Amino acid sequence: MGWIRIIEHERPKLRDPVLIQGLPGLGLVGKIAVDYLIEELRPKMIAELYSDYLFLPDGKSGVLVDFNGICHLPHYEFYAYINSKGKVDIILLAGDTQPVSWAQYMVAEKVIDYVRTLGVRKIITLGGTITQARRKEVFAVANDDSLLKWLSSYGVKPSRGGAVTGACGVLVGLARLYDMEAFSLMGSVGEIYPDPEASKAVLEVLIKMFNIPVSLSKLDKMIKEMKMRAAIAKRLREYGRILVERREAEKRKEEPGYYV
């Protein structure tokens, strides 16, 4: 049995709160989205989850070190946002990494046990998905048909077949065993990695859904900068390819036309 510990800093009074989880995954869609909400809304951190099931991104045990030389264990952070503009309050779950595959259920169950004590009855996970969509669309899987019908009113399309792996999928599936509503919102990931454009599409749905008072202007700036960098990198790769082809052509010209 592994080690999992939740350290609670504060117990706020919340109105019918919903949990929104955004952890590292495909395109970093969920992590970018939740981290952006935390940066813009500045909610209070109410708890942290530590576990020996949370490894470093490279799969090793250890600590993460910031640019000032301060280290910390990989962990989850729970933030509470009192949403005066909406009908429900929000708990945001952010983290550095995901649990190892064989411990996803145990960590997810610990999360559910904790947020239930705060009154959470609905869980939302955020992630990315690979589709053939030409524009940024949002897809969903849910543990109940009625949720998918409700999500369709926000322009969200159901994901057809396949699987949702990791914490993004496990938490939604496990919530059903606790009679909790749960769904996953997934932004379609493109060529840019990380993909803040997919995160923006997911955030637009959440903002409408819960009337969250947040501007996406800073995210738009991030998207513009990343597209510029991607375009420059593409041009450099193309330039490098042309140079290699020219060198190969020059070598062929220098080689004799016959051998003795």
8 A C-beta contact, residue 25 and residue 34: no
Q: Is the pLDDT of residue 25 over 80?
A: yes
Considering the domain architecture, whether residues 55 and 36 belong to the same structural domain is answered as: yes
Residues 186 and 221 in one domain: no
Q: Dihedrals φ, ψ of 144, to 5°?
A: -155, 140
β-strand partners of 248: none
| pLDDT at residue 160, as a whole number | 84
257 and 132 in one domain? no
Query: Which is it for strands 44-51 and 122-129: parallel, antiparallel or unpaired?
Result: unpaired
More confident residue, 159 or 250: 159
Same domain, 133 and 97: yes
What confidence tens digit (pLDDT) does each residue in 38-51 have? 999 999 999 999 99
Sheet with strand 181-188: strands edge to edge: 4-8, 44-51, 75-81, 90-95, 18-22, 122-129, 181-188, 138-142, 157-158
| Percentage of the chain lying above the pLDDT 70 cut | 85
Q: Are residues 141 and 151 in the same domain?
A: yes
Instruction: Look up the domain containing 251 and give its range.
Output: 216-260
- Structural domain ending residue among the three candidates 196, 214, 232: 214
Q: List, in sequence order, every residue forming a beta bridge with 78; answer none if it has no partner.
A: 47, 93
Q: For the chain, give percent helix, strand, coil, nearest 5.
A: 40, 25, 35
CATH number for the domain harbouring residue 175: 3.40.50.10900
Nearest to 38 by CA among 76, 75, 93: 93
Is the same domain home to 234 and 129?
Answer: no
What was the pLDDT predicted at 60? 87
In this structure, the answer to whether residues 254 and 131 fall within a common structural domain is no
Tokens 């929104």 identify what position? 20
232 confidence band (pLDDT: 50, 70, 90): low
Q: Are residues 231 and 204 in the same domain?
A: no
Residue-level pLDDT at 194:
87
Report whether 148 contacts 142 (CB < 8 A): yes
Task: Answer yes or no: do 20 and 48 share one domain.
Answer: yes
> Could you give the residue ranges of the DSSP H alpha helices within 42-85?
none
- pLDDT tens digits, residue range 59-114? 888 999 989 999 999 999 999 999 988 889 999 999 999 999 999 999 999 999 99
Our count of domains for the chain comes to 2
The proportion of the chain whose per-residue pLDDT surpasses 90, expressed as a percent, equals 72
Question: 133 CB contacts (<8 Å, ≥6 apart)?
Answer: 188
CA distances from 223 to 187, 197, 212, 219 (A): 14, 6, 21, 6
Question: 168 with 260, same domain?
Answer: no
Residue 119 shares a structural domain with residue 244: no
